[in-house]
Every structure is written in structure tokens, then in C-alpha cells.
Amino acid sequence: MSFIVFRYGSTFKSCCRFGLLRAARCLRLCSAAALLMLTVCDRHDSGRASDKTVASQPVVVGSKPVSSEAMTPKQMYVAYCSACHTLELVESQRLDRTNWEWVMDDVVNEYGGTWITEQEREILIDYLVENFGPAGDSGEAAP
């Protein structure tokens, strides 16, 4: 639900329009309570390799109340990467391991985007190479 509220503010507005101001406020409060959570959203669940066991519960990042050990690589990817930017950017890339390592190190060291352990770094890079590598499986043919 929080996903819908974040992305389409019209939900709030249309509630108001139908006189459900109180309900809308409640909804807004709920969404606010969920603000620090990143919901693993459905549209990123379809069709990617390797990861058929994505859970739909929220993943909390930042202060790390949920250990990354409990996350699948895909959950980790969504949680860490989409904290700063939407995932189209990642999914449009076709990069080899050297380049993904370069990107990941820049994200951490240059852009200050996230904090990860060495182990998490390896898991994320493996995931990125497997899914968005030079011969990725999502559409465009490799050269």
C-alpha cells in the first residue's frame, strides 16, 4: 500500500474528492509510518533470473534493523540501490564485472549512497553481473 501512495499522489487527492478526508489522512499517516521502509515492488519481481524466492514483506534499510543476511540478493539490490534512484538506471546497463565493481565502489566511496560490507559488495556485484551483464537476459541482444 505504501508503494501506491508514494508513487501516485492522486490516491490522496481522490480520497479527498469523495469526502473521505479522514480516511485519507489515516492513509497518509500509515504511509508516513512506512516511509522508512522500502517495499520490494512487484514490477521488479518478474522475469529476472536467479531469484524466484522474493518475499513481499518490506525491507528496512539504513539503520539496518533487518540484517542483510536475511535478504536475498535481489532484495538487497532493490533495498540498497533504490534508496537513492529508481531501478531503471540499473536495468538499462549492460556492464561487465570490472565496470560493475567500478560503479559499486563509486556509489559507496564517491557518491556516499550506501554503506555495505565487503560480503554484501560481493553479493551485489554478483547479482548485477548476472542480471545486467554484457549478455543480460532482459531484451536487447548483446553485440
Partner 1 sequence: MRRRPRELNWDFLRGFLADHGADPVDLDRFEVFRSRRRFFSRVGKGGLLALFAGFGSGADAALNGLFGRGLIPVALADEADKPTVPDKPGMLVHISHPISGEFPPHLLDDDETPTARHYVRNNGGIPDRAIDRNLEGWTLTIDGEVQRPLELSIDELKKMPSVSMPLLIECAGNGRALFEPRVRGNPWRRGAIACSRWTGVRLNDVLKRAGLKDSAKYTAHYGEDPPIGQAKPFSRGIPIKKAMDDHTIIAYGMNGEDLSAHNGYPVRLVVPGWVGSCSQKWLNRIWIRDKEHDSQKMRGYSYRVPTHPVVPGSRPPKSSMAVATSWIVKSLITRPTANDKFSVGQKIPVAGHAWAGEDAVAKVLVSTDYGMHWQEAKLNPPPNKYAWYRWRTELSFARKGYYEIWARAFDDKGNAQPFRQPWNPKGYLGNVIHRLPVRVNI
Residues at the interface with partner 1 (CB under 8 A): 5-10, 25, 28-29, 32, 35-36, 43, 61-63, 83-86, 88-89, 91-96, 98-99, 102-103, 110-114, 134, 139-141, 143
Cβ proximity to partner 1: between 36 and 70 the closer is 36
Cβ proximity to partner 1: between 69 and 110 the closer is 110
Spatial separation of the C-alpha atoms in residues 94 and 140, rounded to whole Å: 10
Q: Minimum distance from CB of 83 to partner 1 (Å)?
A: 6
Helix residue ranges, H only, the chain: 2-7, 10-17, 21-33, 73-81, 88-91, 97-105, 118-132
Q: Minimum distance from CB of 122 to partner 1 (Å)?
A: 19
3-state secondary structure of 53: coil
Contact criterion met (CB below 8 Å) for 79 and 61: yes
Cβ proximity to partner 1: between 1 and 29 the closer is 29
